[in-house]
Amino acid sequence: MTKKHIFIVEDEEDILEILRYNLSSSGFTVTTATDGEEALAAIPKSMPDLVILDLMLPGIDGLDICRKLKADPQTAGIPIIMLTARGDESDIVAGLELGADDYITKPFSIKVVIARIRAVLRRKEQPPVDADAPLSIGDLVIDPRRREVRVKGRPVDLTFTEFGILHFLARHPGWVMTRDQIIDAVRGNDYAVTDRAVDVQVVGLRKKLGECAEHIETVRGVGYRFKEFR
């Protein structure tokens, strides 16, 4: 089996070396860059399987790199995991809105980094999900054709928006979705609603889901994620 190729963009040498050593030891092929210009020149040539991208870089910052990679049809499909200082919630939201797949805060556990990389790579390799296909996750069943939800066989009466939020999150398990992404998916880009309105809808949705409410995980300052039970 071909080793997965990870491209790391990080200007702090000690962090870069920790990532390079541990990812190589875990069976990945690793390429590195220490600034944005170098990364933007090298990534289209090497076409890695995934990019780990620090947001605080000299010259071109990580958000601009993410924007350029996602705007280029050649590199748009490469998954990106952002590295960010803890508390930079606005940068996390901006990166996810630009198309980044996940984020990791500094300081980080190398075990968490490797687990996140493998999770993102698994998602990339999964076949596209039929938007109308029923989803069955543990005791939770979602049928978009009938717009029906059942918990342990019991029907759950959801509003249009509650159903849309649940279905959108469940179709992307493990993905962190910002409130704006949820709004766009459920109501369209021109739907006038606030972040607070999304939170209110999620509160109501959780109450109705009962024991299955823990599938919907709050990501503080960012949005929500659908979590599958192990």
Q: Is the preceding omega at residue 44 within 30 degrees of 0, hence cis?
A: no
Residues 6+ apart with CB under 8 A from 79: 49, 50, 51, 101, 102, 120, 121, 123, 124
What pLDDT does 85 receive?
83
Closest CA to 116 of 47, 96, 98, 108: 108
- What is the CATH classification number for the domain harbouring 100? 3.40.50.2300
Closest CA to 104 of 78, 132, 82, 134: 82
What pLDDT does 194 receive?
64
What pLDDT does 229 receive?
59
Residues 6+ apart with CB under 8 A from 160: none
Closest CA to 37 of 73, 9, 74: 9
Residues 213 and 161 grouped into a single domain? yes
What pLDDT does 125 receive?
80
Domain closes at, from 125, 158, 183: 125
Domain that holds residue 43: 5-125
What pLDDT does 169 receive?
94
Q: How far apart are CA 179 and CA 196, in angstroms?
A: 9
What pLDDT does 166 receive?
95
Q: Is residue 114 part of a domain?
A: yes
Q: Is residue 130 part of a domain?
A: no
What pLDDT does 55 receive?
92
Residues 103 and 140 grouped into a single domain? no
Overall number of domains in the chain: 2
What pLDDT does 193 receive?
59
Residues 171 and 121 grouped into a single domain? no
For the chain, where are the alpha helices, taking DSSP H only?
13-25, 36-46, 62-71, 89-98, 110-125, 160-170, 179-187, 195-209
Residues 140, 146, 148, CA angle at the centre, nearest 5°? 30
pLDDT in tens, the chain (230 residues): 578 999 999 999 999 999 999 999 999 999 999 999 999 999 999 999 999 999 999 889 999 999 999 999 999 999 999 998 866 788 889 999 999 999 998 889 999 999 999 999 988 887 666 678 889 988 999 999 989 999 999 999 999 889 999 999 998 888 899 988 898 888 765 555 566 788 999 999 999 999 899 999 999 888 999 987 54
Which residues is 141 bridged to in the sheet? 136, 150
- Report DSSP state, residue 226: E
Residues 25 and 116 grouped into a single domain? yes
Domain closes at, from 76, 91, 125: 125
What pLDDT does 186 receive?
83
Structure tokens, 134: 């029923």
